[in-house]
Structure 1
Amino acid sequence: MGPGPASRPGRPPLAAALCAALLMLLLLPPALGAGERRRLACSTCRGIADRFNQGLADTAKKNFGGGNTAWEEKTLSKYESSEIRLVEIIENLCDSSNFECNNMVEEHEEHIEKWWFKLKKKYPDLFKWFCIETIEVCCPAGTYGPDCLACRGGSERPCHGNGHCDGDGTRGGDGSCSCNKEYTGDFCLDCSNGYFSTLRNETHSVCTACHTACKTCTGSSNKDCQDCKEGWIKNEESACVDLDECAASPCKDHQYCLNTDGSFSCK
């Protein structure tokens, strides 16, 4: 019997490595844009400050309670600003799987130590000192972007209190407004369809819901409708009233029509 067919040569190592690398690239999450990275950095820093404050609370009376009060007060005074307490707090700032948090703490641990030993009495707000003023990854509330510019409508009432400022409090975003459902416009001062203005000046706007029959309106009753919603029709008094769709017999022969406000159903 002659020799069997030659075995097929394996894939060259270089080609296999290239395929593996390509597969890894395909499985990686999409890279964050600059704005998203800035938002993430601020969110991470805020989380660190919040966890630090929680650590302060958790260690405030640690291992003390009962016994020699004078000794406890003396010992607690030393522990209160000690390196031991700082290390205990830092160890619990980040979950082990949170890369961004652990990386930020490692990169800026000297700043945290400086604040702890020298500056916390002068600057008691860690978030403001650390995240906004020192490593500059966040902005004060009502401001946004790399230069912490005021949001539309002003930093005190972004979007005139009727929406959310894009990037508010972070070094990201563009300061544009996402208005609440009642409002529209660049500054959230105009009323959306289905709402009418009950107060309007340069800094404040209040929009109230129209009557359920109105698509647009100037007041709260069905007589104030400018346009009726689908399923409603204007009567001789120019008020939007329910359209009786059942009058046109829209249902099949074996069904009966049930008229409802602005609609109908077949049973």
Structure 2
Amino acid sequence: MVVHLTVLLLLTEIVIIGHGQELSLEKSRMHNAAHAVKLPPCQACKVLVDSFKKEMERTARGKFEGGDAAWEEERLGSYSRSEVRLVEIQEKLCSGIERGKDQCHALAEEVEQYVDEWWFHKQGEDLHKYLCTDTLKSCCPDNHYGTDCKPCPGFPDNVCNKSGKCKGAGTRKGNGKCSCDAGYEGEFCSSCAATYYESYRDEQKLLCSPCHSSCQGPCSQAGPKGCSLCNPGWFMDTEKGCLDINECFEKPNPCKRNEFCVNNDGSYTCLACDKACESCEGDGPDMCTRCAQGYTLQDNMCVDEREYGRESHISITRYLTYAGLCIATCIIFQKNTFVASLIGLSVALYISVSEYFLSSSEKNSSLHPAFDVGKLFSS
């Protein structure tokens, strides 16, 4: 038995280790695939520059290590612009990148001489502009596009009417055409789309807002009153515009016999009736128009016939018990009126307390059973 358990544990451990190795291999493959991704030239250059700036931040508080730091600062110059710091930056360059990491390393080797030139002589210039735009010519300035870095429509202050993006902006690709934001259209995104209306306009700005959900096609203002046509599920009112159609009032009823209808804006939903109902007008056993088989109508509510019969029998038994107590009291103590009166009062008090607790427990099901004297007795 011990041998079998040992073998089983060994097999389990082998399976777990094997599964863990598979997950590790899969994760490694995913990382390698991400590292091998080829990015567009401008994006690749930007990734390299961002990595370089990140390493500059990391080494910002560094200094010469070992020996007399003050002497080294005096002889070798400031650490902030030293070759030592540049080497420390280049050692970690591209290390925190996942997507396009291999390309980043290759590009770093390719542009090493330009980075050295910038580091020692041109740190006053922006590195991205110096390297990606001016030197490698893989990017364009902001809001410029194409091989010749032409300005985007509306440059400099109103590119694409501030309601869209210039295709190829910042790169040496793209055609410079405007790609409009949702709700805008036109060559320069200077007008509202079909299902939007002009809610504000001045010389500097156009604001387009969506039409009401009841509108089919264009609209002239906010709300259902601005609709030109109504969507299905709505009807046109001359004063209030598109109003919702209450499908639940339509004849015949759109739902099945054992379902009830709930109206929504422009539509409706069919929900299942309570199990006590064969047909209903809403949720719950008190909304039945006809009780299901095995249920009976009692106090405007469909209740389980077996449960209702059981409760009736319990009530009859309880009242018969009370009557028996009263009769027994009268028979046993008929010769002693005083004692019979005390017993009678006690029985009456018991009946009153029992009925009170029974009534309370029916109204409040959270009442603790230990206090339900009547129910305890009747059970």
TM-score band, normalised by shorter chain: 0.7 to 0.9
1:264 aligns with 2:265: no
Q: CA separation of 1:145/1:203 partners in 2, compared to 1, >3 Å: closer, same or farther?
A: farther
1:120 aligns with 2:132: no
Query: How well do the aligned residues superpose, as a CA RMSD in angstroms?
Result: 2.8
Aligned length: 227
- Matches of 2:88 and 2:64, distance apart in 1: 16
Structure 2 counterpart of 1:60, one-letter code = A
Structure 1 counterpart of 2:266, one-letter code = G
Runs of 5+ in structure 1 lacking a partner? 1-28, 30-36
1:135 aligns with 2:136: yes
Query: Do the aligned residues in 1 keep the contact of 2:197 with 2:221 (CA within 8 Å)?
Result: yes
The equivalences for 1:43-192 within 5 A come to 43-63=43-63, 74=74, 77-95=77-95, 98-121=101-124, 123=125, 125-192=126-193
Q: CA separation of 1:182/1:44 partners in 2, compared to 1, >3 Å: closer, same or farther?
A: same
| Structure showing greater relative contact order (alpha-carbon pairs closer than 8 Å, 6 or more residues apart) | 1
Greater shift after overlay, 109-118 or 227-236?
Answer: 227-236
The equivalences for 1:17-28 within 5 A come to none
Query: Do the aligned residues in 2 keep the contact of 1:225 with 1:239 (CA within 8 Å)?
Result: yes
Query: Which residue in 1 is equivalent to 2:239?
Result: 237
Q: CA deviation at 1:256?
A: 1.3
- Matches of 2:175 and 2:203, distance apart in 1: 22
SS of residue in 2 equivalent to 1:256: strand
Query: Do the aligned residues in 2 keep the contact of 1:143 with 1:155 (CA within 8 Å)?
Result: no
Q: CA separation of 1:229/1:157 partners in 2, compared to 1, >3 Å: closer, same or farther?
A: same
Greater shift after overlay, 202-211 or 111-120?
Answer: 202-211
Deviation string 1:10-58 (CA, Å, 9 cap, x unpaired) is xxxxxxxxxxxxxxxxxxx9xxxxxxx8x71111111111111121111
2:225 corresponds, among 223, 227, 244, to 223
Deviation string 1:137-186 (CA, Å, 9 cap, x unpaired) is 11111111111112233343332111222211111122222222121222
Query: Do the aligned residues in 1 keep the contact of 2:195 with 2:219 (CA within 8 Å)?
Result: yes
Percent identity among equivalent residues?
A: 39
TM-score by length of 2: 0.54
Q: CA deviation at 1:69?
A: 9.0
Runs of 5+ in structure 2 lacking a partner? 1-32, 272-379
Query: Do the aligned residues in 1 keep the contact of 2:76 with 2:82 (CA within 8 Å)?
Result: no
Deviation string 1:188-223 (CA, Å, 9 cap, x unpaired) is 222123321133467632112333322321111321
- Matches of 1:56 and 1:259, distance apart in 2: 62
- Matches of 1:227 and 1:149, distance apart in 2: 44
Deviation string 1:69-113 (CA, Å, 9 cap, x unpaired) is 966865895322121211211222224872221222111111111
Larger Rg over CA atoms: 2
In proportion to residue count, which structure has more helix? 2
